[in-house]
Structure 1
Amino acid sequence: MTHQARVGLGLRREMLDEFCTSVPDAIDFFEVAPENWMTLGGKYGRQFSQLTEQRPFFCHGLSLSIGGPSPLDVEFVKNVKTFLDEHNIELYSEHLSYCSGSGHMYDLMPIPFTQEAVKHVAQRIKLVEDIIERPLILENVSFYAAPGAEMTELEFVNAVLSEADCKLLLDVNNIYVNSINHQYDANAFLRAMPTERVAYLHIAGHYEEAEDIIVDTHGADIVSPVWDLLKTCYEVHGVHSTLLERDFNIPETQVLLQEIDKIHQYQHLNQTRLSRSA
C-alpha cells in the first residue's frame, strides 16, 4: 500500500446535507462504520452513494467481535462484503477486541493477552478475509483492564499482526490513553509498532476523568501530547492517511477543519524534512 498524505473525517449522518452540497477540499476521504450505513435507504442512502462517488471511503467496523468466544457471524460478514463491493470500498478495519459473548455487549472488551488468544484471533481474521476478499486491518484499542494477561499489550498486538500476517490501523490517541492508564512509555510503544504493517492512522480527543484515568471518547479536541505523538509517528513510520475521529460534541465543520488542517501541516512538514535530507 502506497503511503499518501491524506486526511479524512469520520462521516456522521448529520453531516450529509452539508457535504452533499459541498465537501471541503481539505477532506480527502471519509470513514464510516458499515453497521450504521448498510441498511439505510431513501434519502440517506442516496446521499451516501453521492458522497462515495466524490471521495474515497474507508470502513471501520464496530461489531465484528474478532476476538470473541462465540462463532463468527458469517452472515454479517457477507453483508459487510456486499456493502464494500457496492460502494467500491477497499479498506475495512476493525478493533482488536471483542464485543459479544452470550449476547452483544455494545462495548469493546479487551482480549486476554495470551498465546491462545493470538491463535484464536488469527484464525478468525483469515476466515473474514476469505469472505470479504480483501485484507482485514486491525486497530490497537484503548482498554481499562487486562484480565488473565500472559504478555504485554505491545507483545500481544505484534504477535497477532505477525500470526495473521495482517495490517495495522495505528490509533495514536489509543496509545496515549493506554500509556496514562497503564503507566507505560507512549513513545516507546509507538516506535515498537511494525512500520511495514501500518495501513493508516486514527487521531482523536479523549476525556480526562482524573490525572491517571483517561477515557477514549472521541468527543473532545486533540491535546498537545497526542499531537506530539502524531508528529513522532510520521517521523518514525512515515506519513500515512490519517483520520480525525469525532463522534460526540461535534462542532461546526469550520472548527473540525482547524484540526484537519493541522494534520495536513504535520504531514507536509515531515515530507519537507524528508525531501531535504534526501
Structure 2
Amino acid sequence: MLVAKPLSGAGLGLRREMLKQISPHTKGMDFWEIAPENWIPMGGRYQKILRQFTERNSFVCHGLSLSIGSPEPLDIDFVKSVKHFLDEHNILFYSEHLSYCSGEGHLYDLMPIPFTEEAVKHVVQRVKQVQDIIERPLVLENVSYYAAPGQQMSEQEFTLNILKDADCLMLLDVNNIYVNSINHNYDAGQFLAAMPSDKIVYGHIAGHYDEADDLKVDTHGADVIEPVWQLLQQAYELHGVFPTVLERDFNIPPMAELLVEVEHIQHLQKTASSASLSKRQA
C-alpha cells in the first residue's frame, strides 16, 4: 500500500544540473517536483542520488509527454513506466498538462486542445484510461495557449468540464492564468474564482517573457513578477493554502536566489493561513 510523504508548503523543480549545489538534506524546501521522463532513463549514479532524495523528502511528478489530448492512441507502455517510477519512489501525485504534444510523431511543444464538446469527451476517456493504469488520480494543469482553434466554449468551461467528467484533480498554474488573461483578454480573478477548490492538489508559479503589452510568453525563465505574486495570494484567499512549486527551467540562477522566491511563497502561505485563522476566530 502506497503511503506517500505529506505534501505542503513550497517546492522547487529538481533538475540534474542543480545537484552540485544541493543535497537530500538541503534546508528551505518543503518538497520537490520532478519530470519522470528526465529520470526514468537514467541509471547508476543518478538513480542512487534520486533515491536518496525521495527517501528523505516529499515529491510530486510533473510529466512532459503524456499528451493527454492527442488524436493518436495513448502510449500504454509509457504510462506503465510512469506507474512503475511512481511506485518505486513512493510518489502519490502525477500531474500533466491539459494539452497535447504528439500527433504523427512528437511535436516538442504543448499544443492547445480545441475547446469543444468532442474534445472534452476524448480527453475524459483518456484520463480515465491513465488513472486505471497508474492507480491514482491524474492531476491536470491549466496551460498557457496562444491560439484556440475551433473554439466552442471558453477555456474556463473546457477546464471545468474535464475536471468534473473525468473525476481527476487539478494543478493550478497561477502564471498561466495571468498570461492567458492578458493574451486572450479575460479577467484572471474571475477565472481563478471559478476553479473548484476541492480539486486543487498543488500549484505552480513562474516567470514569463513580455513580448508586448498584450502578448506574454510562458517561459519559466525569469523571476516572478508582482502581479503574479498578487494572483497567488488571491488564490490562497479563495481556495485555501495549497502546496506551490516555483518553476524555473532556464536562465537558472544560483540556488540562493531561487530560495528567495521559494521563501516568498512560504511567506504568502503563512500570511493567508493567519488571515484565515483570524476570520474563523472573529
Question: Normalization by structure 2: what TM-score?
Answer: 0.96
Matches within 5 A, 1:81-230: 81-230=83-232
- Asked if the contact 1:219–1:249 (Cα under 8 Å) also holds between the matched residues in 2, the reply is yes
What's 2:16 paired with? 13
Q: Once the two structures are superposed, what CA deviation does each residue of 1:71-117 show, in whole Å capped at 9, x if it has no partner? A: 00000000000111110011000000000101100100000000011
CA distance in 1, matches of 2:94, 2:215: 30
**Aligned residue identity for 2:121:** K
Two-structure CA RMSD over aligned residues (Å): 1.3
- Asked if the contact 1:5–1:267 (Cα under 8 Å) also holds between the matched residues in 2, the reply is no
CA distance in 2, matches of 1:22, 1:32: 17
Match of 2:172, SS? strand
CA distance in 1, matches of 2:98, 2:254: 31
Aligned-residue offset at 1:4: 6.2
What's 1:44 paired with? 46
CA distance in 1, matches of 2:24, 2:143: 35
Q: Percent identity between the aligned chains?
A: 61
CA distance in 2, matches of 1:208, 1:274: 34
CA distance in 1, matches of 2:234, 2:110: 27
Q: How many pairs align?
A: 276
**Aligned residue identity for 1:13:** R
Match of 1:134, SS? coil
Question: Normalization by structure 1: what TM-score?
Answer: 0.97
CA distance in 2, matches of 1:90, 1:253: 26
Match of 1:19, SS? coil
Q: Once the two structures are superposed, what CA deviation does each residue of 1:107-159 show, in whole Å capped at 9, x if it has no partner? A: 00000000011010000001001101111000000000000010010110001
- Asked if the contact 2:169–2:199 (Cα under 8 Å) also holds between the matched residues in 1, the reply is yes
* Unaligned segments of structure 1, at least 5 residues: none
Larger mean CA deviation between 130-139 and 11-20 belongs to: 11-20
- Asked if the contact 1:77–1:132 (Cα under 8 Å) also holds between the matched residues in 2, the reply is yes
* Unaligned segments of structure 2, at least 5 residues: 1-5
Match of 1:233 among 190, 212, 235: 235
Q: Once the two structures are superposed, what CA deviation does each residue of 1:212-258 show, in whole Å capped at 9, x if it has no partner? A: 11110000000011000000000000000000000110111110111
Match of 1:69 among 71, 89, 109: 71
CA distance in 1, matches of 2:236, 2:207: 19
**Aligned residue identity for 1:14:** E
**Aligned residue identity for 2:277:** S
- Asked if the contact 1:175–1:189 (Cα under 8 Å) also holds between the matched residues in 2, the reply is yes
**Aligned residue identity for 1:239:** V
